[in-house]
Amino acid sequence: MGIYDRYFLPRLTHMAMGTSLLTPYRERVIGGARGRVLEIGVGSGLNLPLYGDGVEAITAIDPSAPLLDLARDRAATAAAPVDLIEASAEDLPLSCDSFDMVTVTWTLCSVRDPARVLAELRRVLRPGGALAFVEHGRAPDPPVRRWQDRLTPFWRRCAGNCHLNRPVAQELEQAGFRIERLDTGYAKGPRPMTFMYEGRAVSAG
């Protein structure tokens, strides 16, 4: 891990993800969590204060030790016990059928292998469990998509492997999830970076 990734990127990520423009999305996704919850890409813990009394326990995964250090204070004051684990979402150190819900906020854009991550999420979800998500990704408008494709090679190098052009709904369905609810649209900001997918999915099999 280079100096930029270790010392600068975690702080930049925390600042970028902490914008108030994202708060309503977080509140809707996290506010519906129940039971035993797995959050992948917990980062600096910005979601942790939003979990409600219906949550029994939270397992929070992130591959970045510096970001997990930033999350510790929020974990200490969360509504449910939080277990912070440094690990890759492609290889979760967790048992099968362990969680009632998985929450994912702006994480699938930056994982190395989305298909493998989603397979892991299906593995650890209990039968009947749900995935609640909000992600940014591939836009429906051809001019915006072209800009996303042009910008992504540069963007991913300076933004922690973040891809602007991943087709979120398609990736979920190809991984064996059935989308129960999906809301899409542009958030405020540059369109290549702000087409949002927000919803809920369950395992199709």
- Average pLDDT of 124-143? 98
- In the chain, what percentage of residues exceed pLDDT 70? 94
- Average pLDDT of 107-127? 98
User: Over 70: is that where the pLDDT of 125 sits?
Assistant: yes
Residues in the chain: 205
59-86, pLDDT tens digit by residue?
999 999 999 999 999 999 999 999 999 9
Helix (H) or strand (E) holding 74: helix 65-76
Tell me how many helices (H) and strands (E) the chain has. Answer: 7, 7
- Average pLDDT of 120-124? 98
User: Over 70: is that where the pLDDT of 2 sits?
Assistant: no
- Average pLDDT of 111-121? 98
Helix (H) or strand (E) holding 61: strand 55-62
15-39, pLDDT tens digit by residue?
778 788 899 999 999 999 999 999 9
What does pTM read for this prediction? Answer: 0.93
62 three-state secondary structure: strand
Cα 123 from Cα 14, distance rounded (Å): 29
pLDDT at residue number 12: 73
What is the residue-wise DSSP string for 85-137?
A: EE--TTS--S-TT-EEEEEEES-TTT-S-HHHHHHHHHHHEEEEEEEEEEEE-
Q: Residue 8's Cα: distance from chain center in Å?
A: 20
- Average pLDDT of 167-186? 98
Q: Which CATH class is domain 3-179?
A: alpha beta
pLDDT at residue number 204: 79
Cα 126 from Cα 101, distance rounded (Å): 8
Do residues 123 and 74 lie in contact, with contact meaning Cβ atoms separated by under 8 Å?
no
Mean pLDDT of the chain: 94
State both tokens at 49: 């204060």
Phi, psi angle pair for 93, to nearest 5°:
-85, 55
Side by side, which strands form the sheet with 82-86? 82-86, 55-62, 35-40, 99-105, 125-136, 195-203, 177-186
The full set of domain ranges for the chain reads 3-179
pLDDT at residue number 20: 87
pLDDT at residue number 1: 56
